[in-house]
Amino acid sequence: MNGLFKNAKKDKIIKWSMSIASILLLGETLVLALFYLSLPPFMPLFNQLPWGDARLGQRPAMFLPVLIASAFLVCNFLLANHVYEKMPLVSRILSLTSFLIAVLSLIFTLQTLRVIV
């Protein structure tokens, strides 16, 4: 298990981007848990769909951005560690992509909560 984090500890870009992305996702989860009971039963989450009931998601669907961003974080972290020895630039790009996805997920969640609450 220690070998899994070897490359993340060695490279500052990977270490900081993955750490901050994890902190952002944890904070986003805590904010959602804090406001969960005050959310309405249906919220406009799927804004790319046509107007009407198709745009609405139930209360647990607010955790979808966190789950998707977390899945990207884990996959990118594992892939970045796997290819680090051969392609360090690709590993850094993957870690920065995870950071960007976490930031965008946080922005989406905060904007949705701002409109609803």
- Give the DSSP letter string of 53-112: GGGEEEGGGGGHHHHHHHHHHHHHHHHHHHHTTT-HHHHHHHHHHHHHHHHHHHHHHHHH
- Compute the mean pLDDT over every residue in the chain, rounded to the nearest whole number: 87
Domain residue limits at 91: 2-33+62-116
Residue 100: what pLDDT? 97
Residue 2: what pLDDT? 60
Residue 112: what pLDDT? 85
56 is a domain residue? no
48 is a domain residue? no
Give the Å distances, CA to CA, from 30 to 15, 26, 81, 109: 23, 6, 28, 12
50 is a domain residue? no
pLDDT < 50 regions, the chain: none
1 three-class SS: coil
